[in-house]
Amino acid sequence: MKASKLREQTDEELQQLCDETQKSIFELRAKQGIGEASDHPLRIRNLKRNLGRIKTVMRERRLAKHG
């Protein structure tokens, strides 16, 4: 997901997206741990990058509010 799309979302939507992404990463790692590995490494990498983008936008907003 592009950062420009993330900036269009509200704080609540970003927080929800962050939680969902973290849950997805956790579930994929659990599946990987029990031996179900198909395209998980690539999917996990993409989810981690998206999570970083989400957290970056959230931090930018938090810093802008506090000056």
pLDDT at 65 over 70: yes
Residue at 53 is within a domain: yes
pTM reported for the whole predicted model:
0.86
Structural domains of the chain, count: 1
Per residue in 5-48, pLDDT tens?
999 999 999 999 999 999 999 999 988 888 776 667 889 999 99
Residue at 10 is within a domain: no
Residue at 48 is within a domain: yes
Amino acid, res. 17: L
pLDDT at 62 over 70: yes
Residue at 7 is within a domain: no
Q: Given this model, what pLDDT does residue 34 score?
A: 84
Residue at 57 is within a domain: yes
Domain range enclosing 53: 21-30+38-67
Residue at 11 is within a domain: no
CA–CA distances in Å: residue 60 to residues 17, 36, 63: 16, 37, 5
Q: Given this model, what pLDDT does residue 38 score?
A: 67
Amino acid, res. 63: L
